[in-house]
Chain A
Amino acid sequence: MASVIYKDAKIFVDGYNLSADHSELSLNYSAEMQDETSFGDSTRIRKGGLQVVQVSGSGFWDNASDSLVDDCFFGLMGTDDKTITLFPNGITAGASTLPGKGYAFKGVVSEFSWGDSVGSLLTFNITIEGRGIEA
């Protein structure tokens, strides 16, 4: 088993490389489960439904005038079909297998928040929702 210390994740949102701005990053790829259980069945019958992609991340607030986080997430909030690419452990050009390959989808920034308690390092949180990749 090739376990890995999580320290080289990458996140690209449209024209922004926000990898160094994040300290937490998660990709959730799932399928909605529908219940098609009928009378007479002895078990719950699940049917795979629509696929869902969601990215959540957080990091330390960049207070510079050219902050990419504010520019990106404030600017792209709610805008459809932004290009999102993530890598769990660095980038290796030409790699069609792990490690080095990534995951990409069209997404929309659905949440951008910042805040913390007094005296702490200011942090931000983001959520990006997938919109499929077909069209």
Chain B
Amino acid sequence: MAISRAVVLKDATGTAVSTCANGTAYDLGGVYAGQSLYSALHILSSSTGGLKVRIQGSSSSGFGSGKFTCHVEFTSASCRVGQWATPLTTANVTSTHQKFWRANWECTTSGESYKLLTHMSIQ
């Protein structure tokens, strides 16, 4: 595969994030046999503390406590960087019921601000 279609989970390219939070949940479908989940992250501006971004999946849009899985955790970044996560398959995402996806981001120090863009695709 040479290229992926990028479905944006969090677009903070204009307004920076400054607190730990979860993004909106999107129904993008499960990972089925023969498919891979590709994901990437751009940290476009940063603070000294560092930002950790995760991609989480759940079988319900509510992402209730204990009812979601963190499938991708990008390396904490405190400078401009791009990261491409290792593609996941059904060996990693074992339930096709997990069709809802969201981004989660964690600022090391509250009040710091980061511009970012993270996306995924299942293909």
Chain A proximity mask over B1-17: 1 for CB below 8 Å, otherwise 0: 11111111111010000
Are A15 and B119 interface neighbours, CB within 8 A?
A: no
Question: What are the residues of chain B within 8 A of A16 when measuring CB–CB?
Answer: 44, 80
Residues 103-135 of chain A: 1 if any B CB is under 8 Å from the residue's CB, otherwise 0?
A: 111100000000000000000000000101111
Tally inter-chain residue pairs, CB-CB below 8 A.
113
Interface pair A93/B6, CB less than 8 Å apart:
no
Return chain B residues, CB-CB under 8 Å to A95: 7-8
- A104-B26 contact given A83-B82, A85-B42, A93-B11, CB 8 Å threshold: no
Contacts of A134 in B (CB 8 A): 1, 36, 87
Whole-angstrom distance between the Cβ of B96 and the nearest chain A Cβ = 16
B13 touches A15 (CB 8 A): no
Contact of B1 among A14, A51, A94, A102 (CB under 8 A): A51
With A15-B80, A15-B82 in contact, do A103 and B6 touch (Cβ < 8 Å)? Answer: yes
Within 8 A of B (CB), among A26-82: 29, 51-53, 81-82
User: What distance in Å separates the Cβ of A129 from its nearest Cβ neighbour in chain B?
Assistant: 10
Q: Complex formed: what's the CA distance from A121 to B106 in Å?
A: 43
Which A residues lie at the B interface, using CB under 8 A? 10, 12-17, 29, 51-53, 81-85, 87, 91-96, 100-106, 130, 132-135
Which residues of B does A touch, CB under 8 Å? 1-11, 13, 23-24, 26, 28, 36, 38, 40-44, 79-84, 86-87, 115, 117, 119, 121
Interchain residue pairs A-B with the least CB separation, the first 4: A15-B80, A83-B82, A14-B82, A51-B2
